[in-house]
Amino acid sequence: MRQRSYLKLFAICGILFFFAIVLTLERSSAAVPQGNPAAEWTRSKHANRERAVAEATVENRGTTAAHCGRCHSEQGFLAWLPQLLAGDSGLIKKPDGTAADVEYLRSLGLTVDRVRPITCQTCHGDDFEPRIRDNTPMLPAGFEAWAVGEGALCMTCHNTRNGRIQWDTADPGRYTAPHESAQADVLMGKNSFFLNDTVDRASAHALFTSDSCVTCHLTLGKDGHTFKPSETVCANCHGPSMTIQFVQKPIETLLTQVKAAIERRVLAVRDQIGVVRKWDPATGQYTDNFPLDGKQITKVAEILSIQGQIGFRFSLTDGREIYARAGEIWDTPGGRRIFATSDPIIRACWNYLLIEHDGSLGVHNPSFARDVLTATLNALR
């Protein structure tokens, strides 16, 4: 062979080698995630082991770890998942179908020394595929979400978890608050009083963003597995002028107005209040028959969920702050409840907490958030 041919062969080999390297690099960058999921995850509340210890262990919760442990621990979620997929969103049961007892929950690892928070294994196995996608099973909040992509995984835990409410009932018959995780309900437009939620009010953000929660909180997020959406997330789909504040500002205004309307109703009957079951946020303990002269109440400083029930933080003339659940406020010890479950302010408080607990100030479902709050204002007129 002449020297020229050797040079040509050499050049061709070189070019082939170059493309081989480029192709390999491209393939591995498709398989390797952007960022560092493990480091990002440790900065998110999913890694909060204290919460798992508090809510998902038999030492701290006895058999109710079968309730809270479903979403607050890896072990509880993985034990619950097959049951959920089979159509039973209720508390964790034993394989024979009976209620989980302390011994069984202990065997799952729901103990102070072994419980794990929302770990990698909770959301996906080693293949990194989400354990649930596209359709949710029937959720503890009493509805299903269809064709929501990978967001179906998130919705399994991020829902109000207290059953389906009847929007037009005159008496819900309970003081239950929506859980802090109201996101799926708001995205899908479910579980509002005064506003017909049996018609389709699901947000385009749930239905037409391919993976719903995962699109905004991971794919278009700023720090991967911290699940924080970026400050400019809206611009990806709506153009650079659309900001988070465009939605949050009017919804904040309405939330303030609803809270003021509830407060007016409470202050109108404050003179009747004589006794409450007082709650201490520092210890989580209650004091029965705590005398509270309602005339001393100057303000409803906060509407909140007190261990799952609608409650208030009152400010008093002497500067004290008193917490009590709405159903544990009477005129005299053992006397008449000031707020019956049929009182519209109980349904109004649910709606207020639904939008507040969602945490996005309307972004998840702008029209639904607005309609819930305006319907609540009308009902309190």
Residues 50-109 that bind ligand HEC (CB under 6 A): 51, 55, 64, 67-68, 70-72, 77
**Contact between 378 and ligand HEC per CB under 6 A:** no
Number of alpha carbons in the 13 Å side-chain half-sphere of residue 112: 5
- The footprint of ligand HEC on residues 330-359 (CB under 6 A) is 359
**What's the min distance (Å) between Cβ of 38 and ligand HEC?**
4
Question: Candidates 205-213, 250-258, 313-321, 371-379 — which segment interacts with ligand HEC by CB under 6 A?
Answer: 205-213
Which residue in the set 108, 233, 300, 303 belongs to the binding site for ligand HEC (CB under 6 A)?
Answer: 233
**Contact between 204 and ligand HEC per CB under 6 A:** yes
**Contact between 184 and ligand HEC per CB under 6 A:** yes
Tokens of 220: 């278009």
**Contact between 225 and ligand HEC per CB under 6 A:** yes
- Do 244 and 253 meet the contact criterion of CB atoms below 8 Å apart? no
**Contact between 247 and ligand HEC per CB under 6 A:** yes
**CA pair distance 275, 284, nearest whole angstrom:** 19
Size of residue set near ligand HEC by CB under 6 A: 73
Which 8-state DSSP code applies to residue 98?
A: S
Q: Which is nearer to ligand HEC, 153 or 261 (CB)?
A: 153
**Contact between 190 and ligand HEC per CB under 6 A:** no
Which residue in the set 214, 254, 255, 306 belongs to the binding site for ligand HEC (CB under 6 A)?
Answer: 214
**CA pair distance 23, 27, nearest whole angstrom:** 6
Which neighbouring-strand residues pair with 93?
99
The structure tokens 């995850």 sit at: 41
**Contact between 273 and ligand HEC per CB under 6 A:** no
Number of alpha carbons in the 13 Å side-chain half-sphere of residue 356: 21
**What's the min distance (Å) between Cβ of 227 and ligand HEC?**
4
**CA pair distance 295, 312, nearest whole angstrom:** 16
Position 93, amino acid: K
CA 296 to chain centre: 35
**What's the min distance (Å) between Cβ of 117 and ligand HEC?**
7
- The footprint of ligand HEC on residues 113-172 (CB under 6 A) is 118, 120, 122-124, 128, 130, 140, 150-151, 153-159, 161
**CA pair distance 262, 337, nearest whole angstrom:** 17
**CA pair distance 111, 53, nearest whole angstrom:** 7
Residue 235's contacts (CB-CB under 8 Å, 6 or more residues apart) are 242
**What's the min distance (Å) between Cβ of 76 and ligand HEC?**
8
**Contact between 227 and ligand HEC per CB under 6 A:** yes
- The footprint of ligand HEC on residues 300-319 (CB under 6 A) is none
